[in-house]
C-alpha cells in the first residue's frame, strides 16, 4: 500500500472519530496576523470593520493566497472582474471579446470550470455547466477579493477547486453615518477607416468615441449596531473596435452590443456575544448580442437573468469562549435564454455550516459541512435535479510557535455520477524560521464532480454521459515569503499537479459525447517581487514597483500523447510576466492627491487545440490609470488600455480591442451625523 493511501485512511479515521463527538456546523474568517499570547477573543473573535465579513478560518494559512482590496480596485477602474485580476495579479484570461462576452480565468493550468468561485464564502459556479459569469459582478459593490492558488484549499473546503479559489466578498459593515457614492465613465475606441466584406472601404465611425458607458451608484447607512448598503449599476457596451484579420485587412467588430444592469442590497446587524446577522442579495439582467464567430456580422440574442439571496449568522463566540460558528443559507436563480433555440432555467439552494473549536493554545479544530440542491429545467437537457455536498475536519497543530501543521479531510458525496462518496485529504505545513522568512508546503488531492451538461445534454449531435466519473488528481507545492523592513517583499513557489479522468467531449461517427479521457500533468513556478523605491522626489510619496513571473510547463497525456509528444494544454502559456509601478502624490502637489499606475502584462505563445497546430502569437498589454482628487468629494480618472495598440487574439479567431481610453468621475459623500434612531436602532 503506498503512502498516499495510508495517509488517506489515517485522515479518514481521524475524521470519523472526531465526527462522533461533535456536531456538524460551519463558518468563515478573514486572515489576521499572529498575535502570540493574546487572548482568544483578540486573536479569533473580533472582526475589524475594514476587513468586511469573515469566515472562521486560520489566522495563518499554508496556501499561497493573494488579496485585492478596495483601494486597489478603485485605482484599477477595470470594466469587469477578469480585467481586474489580469491587471492586479497577472492571472491569465481567455475571452471571446470585450465586455459581456464569455470569459475564462486560468490558474495553474485550469480554466474557470475547475476554479471554485465564491461570493461571501458561498460557492457560485453553475451546476449546469460549472462556469461562473464574470460580468455579473459589480466591482463597485466588492469589498475585497481573496485568491487561493492550487487545489490545497483548507480555508473554505469547497469541492471543485482544482486550479484555485476566488472568493468575492461583497458584504461589509458600514461605518456610522450616511455614505453616498457613484461612478460614471465613458470608454472610447479609436475610430479609423476600415474594410467591410461585400461593401468595401468604410469611413471612420466617430460614434466609437462614445462606445461604452458605465454608471454605478451606492448608498450606505451605518450605526454602531447595524448598517444597510445598496447599489445599482448599468452598462451600455457597443463593443465596436478595429482589428486586423488573417489577411491584414482592418475590420470593425460589429453585432456585439451589450446592455446590462444589476442591483444589490445587504444588511448587517450586531447581536450579543459579537454575533452578526447578515442578509444580502443581488440581481442581474443582461441583453447581449453574441457574434456567431470572431469576424461574423451575424449574432444571436442572449438574455441573462440571475438573482441571489443569502442569510448568514456569524458567531465568533458560539455559546462558549472556545467555540465559533457560522451558518448560511443561499438561493440562486439563473435563467439563460437564447430565444427559441435554447433556454436553461436553474435554481440552486446551498446550506453551509462551519465550526471552530480552540481547546488548547497549540490546537484548533475546524469542522463543518455543505449541501447543495440543484434544479434544472432546460430545453437541451430536460428536467433534472441533484444533490451534492460534504463534511470535513481540519486540524491546526502548532508543536512550536514557529511551526504549523494543518491536516484536513473532506468526505464528498453526490447523487449523480459513479462516485457516491469520495475522501479528499490535504496536508499543509508552515514554518517561520525568522521574522522575515515564511515557508509553506502543501500536499492535496484534487476532485471535481461532473456537471449537468456533461451528464445529460441532448441535441445538436451532442449527448451527455450519465456514467461519467468525477475528475481526479493530486498535487503538491512549496513556497516562501521573504519580507525585509516592509520595503521588500519576495514571494516564490513551485508546484506540481496531475489530473486524471478529466472530462472532454470527443466526436465518434459524427456524434459528440463526453468521457473521462483527459489526463495531464503541470509543473510550474509563481514568483513576485514588490519593493518601494527608497526616495520620494518632490511631491511624490513612496513609489511602489511590482514584478511577477509565472512559468507553466504542461503535458497533455490524453488522445494517445505521452511526455515525448510534448503537447501543451490549450490556452495555457509557458511564460506569463507582469510589471506594475504605482506613483502616488500628496496634496502638496495639487489641492488634493492622486496617483498614476502603469502596468504591463505579457503572455507567451499559446495553442488553440490539443494537437498544438494552431498557435496564437504572444502579446504584451501596456496600461495606465491616472487618478486625481478634485475636492474631498470628487475625483477624476483616465484609463488607457493596450496603449501600444496591439492586435491580438485571446481566443482563436476572436480579436480583442486595440487602444481604448476611459474617462470618468467618482464621487463620495459621507455624513457621520446620522443617529441610531434614524436607522431604527434603540
User: Using 50, 70 and 90 to split pLDDT, how confident is the model at 677?
Assistant: very low
pLDDT tens column, 404-418? 999 999 999 987 656
Residue 25 exposure: Cα atoms within 13 Å on the Cβ side: 16
Write down the pLDDT at residue 497: 96
Collect all residues with Cβ–Cβ distance below 8 Å to 488 and sequence separation of at least 6.
Answer: 482, 529, 530, 531, 532
pLDDT at 671 over 90: no
C-alpha cell at 117: 468561485
C-alpha cell at 43: 486573536
User: Using 50, 70 and 90 to split pLDDT, how confident is the model at 187?
Assistant: very high
pLDDT at 81 over 90: yes
* Distance from chain centroid for Cα 239: 24
- Which residue did the predictor score with more confidence, 13 or 467? 467
Distance between CA atoms of 42 and 63, rounded to whole angstroms? Answer: 23
pLDDT at 48 over 70: no
Question: Mean of the pLDDT values across residues 627-638?
Answer: 93
Is there a contact between 551 and 575 (Cβ–Cβ < 8 Å)?
yes
Supply the mean pLDDT for the chain: 86
Q: Which residues pair with 165 in a beta bridge?
A: 116, 148
pLDDT tens column, 29-46? 333 333 333 333 333 333
The proportion of the chain whose per-residue pLDDT surpasses 70, expressed as a percent, equals 88
Write down the pLDDT at residue 42: 33
Q: How far apart are the first and last CA of the chain?
A: 64
pLDDT tens column, 104-117? 999 999 999 999 99
DSSP string, 599-614: EEEEE--EESSTTS-S
- Which residue did the predictor score with more confidence, 109 or 676? 109
Backbone angles phi, psi at 17, to 5 degrees: -60, -45
Write down the pLDDT at residue 479: 96
pLDDT tens column, 115-164? 999 999 999 999 888 889 888 899 988 999 999 999 999 889 998 899 99
pLDDT at 182 over 80: yes
User: Using 50, 70 and 90 to split pLDDT, how confident is the model at 444?
Assistant: very high
Separation in Å, CA 2 to CA 5, 20, 425:
6, 28, 15
Distance between CA atoms of 234 and 217, rounded to whole angstroms? Answer: 9
pLDDT at 399 over 70: yes
Write down the pLDDT at residue 3: 41
Of the candidates 637, 497, 494, 505, the residue with the CA atom closest to the CA atom of residue 558:
505
Least confident of 3-12, 486-495, 598-607, 655-664: 3-12
Query: E strands along 415-461, which residues?
Result: 421-431, 437-448, 458-459
Write down the pLDDT at residue 57: 56
Least confident of 381-385, 456-460, 606-610, 658-662: 456-460
Q: Write down the residue that cell numbers 494537437 correspond to.
A: 611
Of the candidates 51, 33, 31, the residue with the CA atom closest to the CA atom of residue 486:
33
Distance between CA atoms of 304 and 455, rounded to whole angstroms? Answer: 23
- Which residue did the predictor score with more confidence, 538 or 26? 538
For the full predicted model, state whether its pTM sits above 0.75.
yes
Distance between CA atoms of 198 and 658, rounded to whole angstroms? Answer: 24
pLDDT tens column, 281-307? 999 999 999 888 877 778 889 999 999
Residue 151 exposure: Cα atoms within 13 Å on the Cβ side: 32
Question: Mean of the pLDDT values across residues 365-383?
Answer: 94
Q: Write down the residue that cell numbers 473521462 correspond to.
A: 516
Write down the pLDDT at residue 59: 63
pLDDT at 9 over 70: no
How do 115-119 and 164-169 pair as beta strands? parallel
The proportion of the chain whose per-residue pLDDT surpasses 90, expressed as a percent, equals 67
Is there a contact between 242 and 250 (Cβ–Cβ < 8 Å)?
yes
DSSP string, 199-256: TEEE---GGGGG-EEEEEEEEEEE-SSEEEEEEEEEEEE----EEE-TTS-EEE--S-
pLDDT tens column, 552-607? 999 999 888 999 999 999 999 999 999 999 999 876 555 678 999 999 999 999 99
Is there a contact between 515 and 465 (Cβ–Cβ < 8 Å)?
yes
User: Using 50, 70 and 90 to split pLDDT, how confident is the model at 175?
Assistant: confident
Structural domains of the chain in order of their starting residue, each with its CATH number: 177-679 (2.40.170.20)
Collect all residues with Cβ–Cβ distance below 8 Å to 125 and sequence separation of at least 6.
Answer: 113, 116, 117, 131, 132, 160
Is there a contact between 123 and 166 (Cβ–Cβ < 8 Å)?
no
Helix runs in 366-496, H state only: 452-456
Least confident of 47-51, 109-113, 382-386, 530-534: 47-51
Amino acid at each position: 500500500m503506498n503512502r498516499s493511501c495510508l495517509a488517506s485512511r489515517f485522515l479518514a479515521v481521524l475524521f470519523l472519530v472526531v465526527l462522533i463527538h461533535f456536531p456538524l456546523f460551519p463558518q468563515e474568517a478573514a486572515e489576521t496576523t499572529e498575535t502570540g499570547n493574546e487572548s482568544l477573543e483578540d486573536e479569533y473573535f473580533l472582526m475589524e470593520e475594514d476587513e468586511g465579513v469573515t469566515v472562521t478560518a486560520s489566522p495563518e494559512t499554508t496556501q499561497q493566497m493573494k488579496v485585492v482590496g478596495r483601494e486597489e480596485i478603485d485605482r484599477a477602474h477595470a470594466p469587469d472582474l477578469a480585467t481586474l485580476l489580469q491587471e492586479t495579479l497577472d492571472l491569465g484570461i481567455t475571452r471571446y471579446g470585450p465586455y459581456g462576452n464569455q470569459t475564462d480565468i486560468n490558474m495553474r493550468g485550469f480554466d474557470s470550470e475547475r476554479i471554485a468561485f465564491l461570493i461571501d464564502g458561498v460557492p457560485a459556479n453553475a451546476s449546469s455547466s460549472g462556469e461562473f459569469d464574470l460580468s455579473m459582478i459589480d466591482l463597485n459593490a466588492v469589498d475585497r477579493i481573496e485568491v487561493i492558488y492550487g487545489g490545497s484549499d483548507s480555508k473554505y473546503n469547497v469541492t471543485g477547486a482544482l486550479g484555485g479559489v476566488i472568493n468575492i466578498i461583497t458584504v461589509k459593515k458600514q461605518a456610522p453615518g450616511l455614505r453616498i457614492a457613484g461612478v460614471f465613465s465613458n470608454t472610447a475606441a479609436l475610430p479609423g477607416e476600415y474594410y467591410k466584406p461585400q461593401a468595401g472601404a468604410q469611413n471612420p465611425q466617430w460614434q466609437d468615441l462614445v462606445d461604452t458607458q458605465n454608471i454605478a451608484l451606492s448608498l450606505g447607512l451605518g450605526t454602531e449596531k447595524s448598517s444597510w448598503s445598496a447599489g445599482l449599476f448599468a452598462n451600455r457596451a457597443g463593443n465596436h473596435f478595429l482589428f486586423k484579420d488573417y489577411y491584414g485587412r482592418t475590420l470593425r467588430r460589429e453585432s456585439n452590443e451589450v446592455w446590462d444592469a444589476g442591483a444589490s442590497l445587504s444588511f448587517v446587524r450586531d447581536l450579543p456575544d459579537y454575533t452578526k446577522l447578515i442578509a444580502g442579495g443581488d440581481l442581474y439582467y443582461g441583453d447581449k448580442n453574441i457574434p456567431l464567430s470572431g469576424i461574423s456580422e451575424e449574432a444571436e440574442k442572449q438574455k441573462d437573468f440571475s438573482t441571489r439571496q443569502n442569510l448568514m449568522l456569524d458567531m465568533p463566540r458560539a455559546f462558549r469562549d472556545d467555540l465559533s460558528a457560522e451558518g448560511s443559507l443561499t438561493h440562486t436563480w439563473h435563467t439563460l435564454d437564447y430565444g427559441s433555440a435554447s433556454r436553461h432555467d436553474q435554481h440552486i439552494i446551498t446550506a453551509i455550516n462551519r465550526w471552530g473549536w480552540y481547546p488548547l493554545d497549540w490546537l484548533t479544530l475546524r469542522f463543518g459541512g455543505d449541501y447543495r440542491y440543484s434544479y434544472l429545467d432546460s430545453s437541451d437537457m430536460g428536467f433534472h435535479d441533484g444533490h451534492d455536498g460534504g463534511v470535513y475536519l481540519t486540524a491546526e497543530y502548532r508543536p512550536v510557535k514557529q511551526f504549523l501543521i494543518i491536516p484536513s479531510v473532506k468526505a464528498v458525496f453526490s447523487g449523480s455520477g459513479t462516485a457516491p462518496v469520495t475522501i479528499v485529504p490535504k496536508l499543509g505545513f508552515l514554518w517561520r524560521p525568522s521574522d522575515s522568512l515564511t515557508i509553506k508546503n502543501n500536499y492535496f488531492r484534487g476532485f471535481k464532480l461532473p456537471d449537468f451538461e456533461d451528464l445529460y445534454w441532448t441535441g445538436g449531435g451532442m449527448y451527455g454521459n450519465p456514467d461519467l466519473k468525477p475528475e481526479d488528481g493530486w498535487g503538491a507545492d512549496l513556497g516562501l515569503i521573504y519580507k525585509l523592513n516592509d520595503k521588500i517583499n519576495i514571494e516564490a513557489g513551485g508546484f506540481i499537479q496531475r489530473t486524471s479522468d478529466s472530462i472532454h467531449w470527443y466526436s465518434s461517427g459524427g456524434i459528440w459525447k463526453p468521457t473521462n479521457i483527459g489526463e495531464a500533468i503541470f509543473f510550474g513556478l509563481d514568483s513576485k517581487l514588490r519593493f518601494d523605491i527608497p526616495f520620494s522626489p518632490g511631491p511624490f510619496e513612496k513609489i511602489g514597483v511590482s514584478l511577477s513571473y509565472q512559468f507553466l510547463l504542461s503535458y497533455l497525456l490524453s488522445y494517445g500523447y505521452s511526455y515525448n509528444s510534448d503537447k501543451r494544454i490549450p490556452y495555457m502559456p509557458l511564460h506569463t510576466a507582469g510589471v506594475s509601478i504605482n506613483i502616488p502624490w500628496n496634496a502638496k502637489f495639487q489641492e488634493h492627491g492622486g496617483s498614476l499606475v502603469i502596468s504591463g502584462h505579457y503572455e507567451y505563445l499559446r495553442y488553440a487545440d490539443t494537437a498544438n497546430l494552431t498557435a496564437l502569437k504572444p502579446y504584451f498589454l501596456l496600461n495606465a490609470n491616472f487618478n486625481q482628487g478634485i475636492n474631498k468629494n470628487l475625483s477624476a480618472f483616465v484609463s488607457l488600455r493596450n496603449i501600444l495598440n496591439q492586435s491580438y487574439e485571446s481566443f482563436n479567431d476572436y480579436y480583442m480591442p486595440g487602444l481604448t481610453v476611459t474617462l470618468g468621475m467618482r464621487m463620495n459623500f459621507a455624513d457621520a451625523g446620522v443617529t441610531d434612531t434614524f436607522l431604527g436602532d434603540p
